[in-house]
């Protein structure tokens, strides 16, 4: 029965005597060591021990015999067996001494542990790998309450700044600190609850409080019943990547949200590769549409040749940048002024042009406004200068006029006064009257010239002040005609206007007199004897119209356009005295007061001068 039993067990059984001779083996031993049945019997035990241990083994054996207890062999040491073919293999042995027929025998139970050792080695290796991995690795026990950490590698300690003891037996959620409101935490919780694997990016905090981004993947480990026993968590520090991403996003946002237009275009084909929102908004094209275009489609001021020439420095690398101003053409056909900045760059191996474009409408408007203002100021200055010049000229002319125009009337006044003294007789009164009339006439003439000059001076210096009053039209007409009578040539008559007795006008009295006397004096001066001068007055709806019609020399057609110019005198008028000032100032005054002056004339037939004076309707207050 024992023999059967010995053959049945998987351990090797070896019995040796006190001389270390094998006295019995079972077949498990024979197989384990590679011997045939009974081959080992009678052999020394040394045959089963690798020769390098022989020496030591003898001592151990004696020791054992002396103590003679049942125990495991080679406690604390590795034990090796030697097969018949010389191969060594790890074994475990238990020793049982027993006496039989007065002698001591030892039964050794031997197990081949090579495969277990191999597993152990494997485990050791894996464990070493785990602990020396550069990723933080933890294992949690899913079957304990709150899933505590039961393993942590050194990379994890390093990553988090916590020591092993501070991590073990805790739930890993402490890594999130107060930052609990994260979507990925929810995801993680669900995976743990459902025993699933998952991968999340989560904000974690080191022991010193600094933030790090953890790309955490957890995988459940299941037993044979398919229930989760552990989770393995692998942590990756992706802070740098996330920060780079954030920075990229930031730049991207700046690019997209810039109100300036930013483009990237292929340096070879010049086609747009991308364009920011600002560009799409300004131009009215979508990105897809723009990708079919080149800058030439947007810059109507350039053709292919001129554009190529413009951007040539970008390619020759002697200048990395090209800057210029032009206009952009929107999709709707409208344009706007722009400032363009081109720069060469590259994406991967591709050479690209970065283009930044500023809408300079406002700047342009400002510049144009400034230019206009400068122009306006320059004009004003020029005018002021001109006025200054004219005043100077006026003075010079006045002096030459005084010496020239005043000469004739003054000498005739002198003659008349000299002659006056000769007419001492009473009956010579008519002669005296004639000379007195001549003197008055000439004085009046000189007075008129002086008035005209004063008028110009006032108009020029802006000192003229008008004084609007209501007066009867007939008052001034009477006065002017009365004075003019003295100037009439033989046979000349002035036809007084009809129906003006009740006409009242609101105007500057002095100016009206000046204008009217100018016109009537001219009519007299530029008409021969025996002609008539008509004065007609008519009220149109808004103005009072007054015509002075003569039958005089008229004004040559080609000179008519100059007649209101200051100092201008027509060719056919040069035999008469005059200054060329009267009509000019009459026109200025009338226009200043809302009226106007026009004429029609035909040489040798006569002229008609027409003035219009606005009718000012005064509001009557009802009492």
Beta strand 493-495 pairing with 532-539: parallel
526 touches ligand ADP (CB under 6 A)? yes
CB neighbours of 395 closer than 8 A, spacing ≥ 6? none
**Smallest separation (angstroms) from ligand ADP to the CB of 533:** 9
Q: Does residue 11 touch ligand ADP according to CB under 6 A?
A: no
For ligand ADP, the closer of residues 299 and 397 by Cβ is 397
Pairing of strands 543-549, 504-508: unpaired
3-state secondary structure 163-218: CHHHHCCCCHHHHHCCCCCCHHHHHHHHHHHHCCCEEEEEEEECCCCCEEEEEEEE
Residue 516 in the binding site for ligand ADP (CB under 6 A)? no
Regarding 331 and contact with ligand ADP (CB under 6 A), the answer is: no
CA 268 vs CA 208, 261, 315, 346: distances in Å: 53, 21, 10, 12
- Cα atoms in the 13 Å half-sphere on the side-chain side of 181: 0
Q: Which is nearer to ligand ADP, 439 or 553 (CB)?
A: 553
Which one of 242-250, 338-346, 419-427, 553-561 is the stretch in contact with ligand ADP (CB under 6 A)? 553-561
Minimum distance of ligand ADP from residue 442's CB (angstroms): 15
Which of 578, 587, 588, 595 binds ligand ADP (CB under 6 A)? It is: 578
d(CA 63, CA 97): 13
The CA distance from 605 to 550, in Å, is: 8
Residue 551 CB, shortest distance to ligand ADP, in Å, is 10
Among the candidate windows 87-95, 324-332, 516-524, 534-542, which touches ligand ADP by CB under 6 A? 516-524
Examine residue 555 and tell whether it contacts ligand ADP (CB under 6 A): yes
Interface residue with ligand ADP among 580, 596, 610, 614 (CB under 6 A) is 580
Contact between 553 and ligand ADP by CB under 6 A: the answer reads yes
Inter-residue contact 497 to 549 (CB < 8 Å): no
Query: 447-466 mask for ligand ADP (x: CB under 6 A)?
Result: --------------------
Q: Which of 203, 431, 532, 569 binds ligand ADP (CB under 6 A)?
A: 569
Rounded CA-CA distance 96/496 in Å is 171
Q: Which of residues 415-434 bind ligand ADP (CB under 6 A)?
A: none
**How big is the chain by its Cα radius of gyration, in Å?**
64
Please give the C-alpha separations between residue 279 and each of 90, 267, 353, 380, 408, in angstroms, as whole numbers.
Answer: 78, 19, 15, 43, 82
The residue among 619, 622, 621 whose CA lies nearest residue 506 is: 619
Would you count residue 570 as binding ligand ADP (CB under 6 A)?
yes
Closer by beta carbon to ligand ADP, 328 or else 587 = 587
Q: Which listed residue (494, 573, 590, 611) binds ligand ADP by CB under 6 A?
A: 573
- Our finding on whether 532 is near ligand ADP (CB under 6 A) is no
Is 544 a binder of ligand ADP (CB under 6 A)?
Answer: no
Return phi, psi of residue 436, to 5°. -60, -40
Q: Does 518 bind ligand ADP (CB under 6 A)?
A: yes
Closest-CB residue for ligand ADP? 578
Smaller CB distance to ligand ADP: residue 292 or 565? 565
Assess 261 for contact with ligand ADP (CB under 6 A). no
Question: How far out from the chain centre does Cα 110 lie?
Answer: 87
Can you tell me which of 156, 582, 588, 595 binds ligand ADP, judged by CB under 6 A? Answer: 582
Q: Which of 552, 589, 595, 613 binds ligand ADP (CB under 6 A)?
A: 552
Query: By CB under 6 A, is residue 581 in contact with ligand ADP?
Result: yes
Task: Rule CB under 6 A: choose which of 262, 595, 607, 611 binds ligand ADP.
Answer: 607
Residue 518 C-beta: closest distance to ligand ADP, Å: 6
Q: Which stretch binds ligand ADP (CB under 6 A): 171-179, 391-399, 477-485, 548-556?
A: 548-556
Q: Does 554 bind ligand ADP (CB under 6 A)?
A: yes
Q: How far is CA 249 from the centre of its chain?
A: 18
Can you give the three-state secondary structure of 317-376, one letter per residue?
Answer: CCCCEEEEEEEEECCCCCEEEEEEEEEEEEECCEEEEEEEEEECHHHHHHHHHHHHHHHH
| Residue 14 binds to ligand ADP (criterion: CB under 6 A) | no
Q: Is 520 in the site for ligand ADP (CB under 6 A)?
A: no
| Dihedral, CA of residue 510, residue 516, residue 517 and residue 523, to nearest 10 | 170
Footprint of ligand ADP on 292-321 (CB under 6 A): none
Should residue 517 be labelled a site residue for ligand ADP when binding is judged by CB under 6 A? no
Q: Which is nearer to ligand ADP, 12 or 578 (CB)?
A: 578
Q: Name the one range near ligand ADP by CB under 6 A: 83-91, 247-255, 328-336, 580-588.
A: 580-588
Please count the CA atoms within 13 angstroms of the CA of 211 that sit on its side-chain side.
10
- Whole-angstrom distance, CA of residue 191 vs CA of residue 185: 10
The CA-atom distances, in angstroms, between 133 and each of 129, 137, 149 are 6, 8, 17
220 binds ligand ADP (CB under 6 A): no
User: Coil, helix or strand for 77?
Assistant: coil
Q: Does 550 bind ligand ADP (CB under 6 A)?
A: yes
Query: What backbone phi and psi angles, to 5 degrees, belong to 261?
Result: -90, 130
List residues near ligand ADP by CB under 6 A.
518, 522-523, 526, 550, 552-555, 563, 569-570, 573, 578-584, 607
């Amino acid at each position: 029965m024992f023999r059967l039993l010995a053959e049945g067990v998987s351990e090797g059984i070896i019995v040796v005597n006190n001389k270390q001779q094998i006295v019995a083996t079972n077949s498990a031993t024979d197989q384990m060591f590679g011997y045939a049945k009974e081959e080992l019997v009678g052999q020394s035990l040394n045959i089963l021990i690798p020769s390098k241990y022989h020496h030591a083994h003898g001592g151990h054996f004696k020791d054992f015999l002396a103590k003679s207890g049942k125990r495991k062999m080679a406690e604390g040491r590795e034990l090796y067996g030697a097969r018949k073919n010389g191969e060594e293999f790890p074994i475990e042995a238990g020793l049982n001494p027993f006496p039989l027929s007065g002698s001591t025998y030892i039964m050794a139970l031997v197990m081949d542990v090579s495969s277990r050792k191999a597993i152990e080695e494997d485990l050791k290796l894996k464990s070493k790998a785990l602990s020396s991995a550069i990723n933080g690795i933890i294992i949690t026990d899913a079957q304990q309450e709150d899933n505590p950490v039961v393993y942590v590698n050194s990379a994890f300690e390093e990553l988090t700044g916590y020591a092993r003891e501070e991590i073990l037996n805790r739930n890993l959620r402490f890594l999130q600190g107060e930052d609990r409101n994260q979507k990925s935490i929810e995801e993680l919780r669900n995976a743990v609850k459902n025993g699933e694997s998952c991968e999340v990016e989560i904000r974690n905090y080191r022991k010193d409080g600094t933030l790090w981004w953890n790309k955490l993947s957890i995988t459940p480990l299941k037993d044979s019943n398919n229930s989760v026993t552990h989770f393995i968590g692998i942590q990756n520090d992706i802070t740098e990547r996330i920060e780079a991403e954030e920075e990229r996003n930031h730049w991207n946002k700046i690019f997209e949200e810039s109100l300036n237009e930013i483009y990237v275009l292929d340096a070879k084909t010049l086609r747009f590769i991308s364009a920011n929102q600002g560009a799409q908004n300004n131009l009215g094209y979508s990105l897809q549409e723009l990708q079919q275009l080149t800058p030439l489609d947007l810059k109507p001021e350039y053709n292919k040749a001129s554009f190529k020439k413009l951007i040539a420095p970008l390619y020759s690398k002697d200048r990395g940048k090209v800057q210029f101003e032009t206009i952009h053409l929107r999709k709707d056909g409208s344009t706007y002024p722009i400032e363009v900045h081109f720069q060469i760059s590259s994406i991967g191996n591709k050479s690209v042009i970065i283009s930044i474009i500023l809408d300079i409408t406002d700047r342009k408007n400002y510049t144009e406004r400034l230019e206009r203002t400068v122009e306006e100021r320059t004009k004003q200055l020029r005018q002021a200068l001109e006025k200054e010049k004219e005043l100077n000229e006026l003075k010079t002319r006045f002096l030459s006029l005084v010496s020239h125009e005043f000469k004739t009337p003054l000498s005739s006044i002198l003659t008349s006064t000299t002659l006056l003294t000769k007419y001492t007789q009473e009956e010579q009164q008519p002669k005296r009257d004639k000379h007195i009339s001549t003197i008055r006439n000439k004085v009046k003439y000189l007075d008129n010239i002086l008035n005209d000059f004063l008028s110009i001076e006032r108009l020029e210096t802006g000192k003229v002040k008008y004084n609007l009053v209501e007066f009867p039209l007939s008052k001034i007409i009477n006065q002017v005609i009365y004075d003019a009578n003295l100037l009439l040539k033989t046979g000349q008559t002035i036809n007084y206007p009809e129906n003006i007795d009740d006409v009242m006008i609101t105007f500057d009295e002095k100016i009206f007199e000046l204008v009217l006397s100018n016109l009537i004096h001219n009519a007299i001066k530029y008409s021969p004897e025996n002609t008539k001068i008509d004065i007609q007055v008519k009220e149109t709806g808004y103005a009072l119209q007054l015509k002075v019609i003569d039958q005089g020399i008229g004004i040559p057609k080609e000179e008519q356009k100059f007649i209101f110019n200051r100092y201008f005198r027509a060719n056919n008028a040069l035999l008469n005295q005059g200054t060329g000032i009267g009509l000019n100032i009459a026109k200025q005054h009338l226009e200043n007061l809302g009226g106007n002056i026009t004429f029609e004339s035909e040489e040798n037939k006569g002229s008609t001068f027409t003035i219009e004076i606005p009718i000012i309707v005064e509001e009557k207050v009802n009492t």
